[in-house]
Chains A and B, each alone.
Chain A
C-alpha cells in the first residue's frame, strides 16, 4: 500500500477560497490576525483588495461580515473555532443567524488536535454552540477532498454556514474524481451489519481504521461520515440504526451537544436505539503533540475498538 497523503483541512480551506475567489468576485475573506494560521493567506495574496484583516477583534469581525453580506458580498469570516464560535457566539447568533445573512464562518483549529497550544485554544464545544442557532448549517469535513467541496458548497448555498476545520494533517480518504458533496447528505464509507459507527471530521479516518481492526475480530461495523451535522441526514441514520441495531458516535468534540447528541436527538424521536458516544468527555484538553492527545483522549482507532468491545449496550 502506498503511503497515505495527509493534508490539514485548514489548508484545504485556504486553497479552496483562492480558487473560488477567482471565479466569484463577491467572495471576500475576513481574518482576525490569523491569516497565516487559518491559511487564508493564499486568498489574501491573490486578492488583497478583497481580504479584510480586522485585527484581534473577532466579535467585530462577525458584525463586519454581516454588514458585507447585506450588500451582496459572500464573506468568509475566519478564525480559530474557539474564537469564532466561542468568543463571538452572540455576534454570530444575533448579527448573522437572526437576520439569516449569507456569512460563512471558517473555523480552523477545532478540537484537541490543536496540540501544543493547550486547553484555551482547543475548542470542543463549537458544534454544540453552532447547531443551536436556528438556520445555521454546520459542516465538519473529514479530509482535503471533502473540505474543498464543502467550501464550494457553502459559497453556493445562500445563508449562514459554520465550517469546522482542523490544524492537524489528516489522511486523504476520498477520491477527488468520484467524490460528491451535498449539504445534509451523509456518506456511507464502509458497510457492516453488526453496528454502525457515525462519525465526523478527523475521526472518520480513525473510525475506518477501527472498523478494519474490528473486522479482523469478526465484528462488521458500518461507518457513516456525517459531514453536515446540521441539517443532519436523519434518513441515513435511522436506516442504519434499523439495519444494525447498535450505534456508536465518534467525534473530536465534547460528548455533550455535538454529533453524538445530534444523532441521539434523531434516534430518540424516530427509532430509539442504544448509542455509545465516544468523544472528549466533560473535560478540557491540555498541551501535547496532537497525535498523543488524540490517543490520550481516546479518539484513536485502538481506543475506539477498545471502547466498542467493552460496551455491552
Chain B
C-alpha cells in the first residue's frame, strides 16, 4: 500500500475502533487510536501473513503486549480479512469471539493471548528464540504501551532478547504519554525510553508514530540490523483522530455515549473526506 492508502485504511480502522467501543459500552479507545497507524502498517505492509491460513507455521508473528487496545488490533485483523468487519461491534458482548483482551483460542489471527501488562513481550521473545533454534526466518513483532514499561517483566524480557541476539524481534513502544492515572511522566516516569532500550543493547529508532514514511523507514531499518533486537519508540497522540479524546487520559478506558459517538464519527468522516480529495 502507498502512504495515502495506508492513511485511508488507518482512518477506517479508527472508525471501527470507536464504533466497537461504543457498541460494547466499554473498552479502550485512547490507546487503540494512538496505535491505529502502527496496526495498519504491520498488517497491510510489513508482516508476512496469510488470513486464509492464520496458523501457517512460517508466518510472521505479532503479540499485542498492550492487550487492552484489542479494538485497534481486531479492526486491523478484520480489514486484513481474518474475519468479517461487520462482527467488530460484537466486541466484549457475551458470547462474542472478540474478547475484551486478545484470546488466541477465540479469534483468528491472534498469535498470543495477552492483556496482563508486561507478559506479551516475553511470549514474543519465546517465539523469536524458537525461530532461531529451528533456523526459521520469520520475524516477531510486539507492541507495548509506554505505561507498560513500568512492569519489571518488560526489562527481564528485554535483557534476554538482547542477550540471545534476537535480530528477528521488533519491540514497538506506543509512546502516547498517558496512562490511567495521568501523564506517565507524573505517575512513574519511564523516560528516557530510548536510552533505556539502548542500555539493554537494542538498536533504537525514534519516530513519529503517525507518519507512515517514518514508520516505513523504521521497519525497513530494523530488517538490516544484525545481532540485536530493535526497539521502535513511536511518539503518538492518545485518542488520535477524535477531537475530544486527543491527549486525554480520561479516554484510556471509557466508551463514548451516543452523542459523543456522533461527534467522533463526524471527526473521522472529515479526515476520510480530506484524504479522498488527495
Footprint of B on A, CB under 8 Å?
Answer: 28, 49-50, 52, 54-55, 57, 59-73, 75, 90-91, 94-95, 98-100
Contacts and interface: CB of A to CB of B under 8 A. Distances in A.
Contact of A71 (B104, B131, B164): B131
A95 B122 contact: yes
B130 A71 contact: yes
A227 B130 CA distance: 32
B122 A100 contact: no
Contacts of A49: 133
B192 interface: no
B103 interface: yes
B165 to A, nearest CB: 13
Nearest to B134: A71
A55 B57 contact: no
Contacts of A100: 105
Contacts of B131: 71
Contact of A59 (B57, B103, B122): B122
Given A57-B160, A99-B103, A64 B112 contact: no
Interface in B157-189: 157, 159-160, 163-164
A241 B16 CA distance: 59
Contacts of B130: 67-68, 71-73
Given A57-B159, A60-B153, A63-B125, 4 more contacts: A57-B156, A71-B126, A72-B57, A90-B116
6 contacts: A57-B160, A66-B122, A68-B127, A70-B104, A71-B57, A71-B134
Contacts of B157: 60, 63-64
Given A63-B153, A95-B122, A70 B112 contact: yes
Contact of B127 (A60, A67, A95): A67
Contacts of A62: 122
B160 A67 contact: no
Interface in B43-64: 57, 61, 63
Contacts of A73: 130, 133
B123 interface: yes
A159 to B, nearest CB: 12
Interface size for chain B: under 10, 10 to 19, 20 to 34, or 35 or more residues? 35 or more
A98 B113 contact: yes
Nearest to A97: B113
B69 interface: no
Contacts of A57: 153, 156, 159-160
A94 B116 contact: yes
Contact of A94 (B119, B127, B152, B164): B119
Given A64-B122, A99-B104, A94 B115 contact: yes
A95 B123 contact: yes
A64 B123 contact: yes
Contacts of A99: 103-105, 112-113
Contact of A64 (B61, B104, B125, B152): B125
Interface string B133-144: 110000000000
A68 B122 CA distance: 10
B148 interface: no
B111 interface: yes
Interface in B186-222: none
A63 B115 CA distance: 13
Contact of B129 (A68, A90, A91, A98): A68
B156 A66 contact: no
B112 A67 contact: yes
A102 to B, nearest CB: 12
A123 B130 CA distance: 31
Contact of B119 (A52, A54, A91): A91
B156 A60 contact: yes
Nearest to B151: A59
B20 interface: no
A28 B129 CA distance: 11
Given A95-B119, A99-B105, A67 B125 contact: yes
Contacts of B112: 66-67, 70, 95, 99
A63 B122 contact: yes
Contacts of A98: 103, 113
B151 to A, nearest CB: 9
B126 A67 contact: yes
Contact of A63 (B123, B133, B152, B159): B123
A94 B133 CA distance: 25
A194 B126 CA distance: 52
A28 B61 CA distance: 20
A70 B123 contact: yes
B91 interface: no
Contacts of A55: 156, 159-160, 163
B139 to A, nearest CB: 13
B124 interface: yes
Contacts of B57: 71-72
A293 B200 CA distance: 44
A245 to B, nearest CB: 44
B160 A65 contact: no
A50 B118 CA distance: 25
Contact of B126 (A59, A63, A94): A63
B47 to A, nearest CB: 16
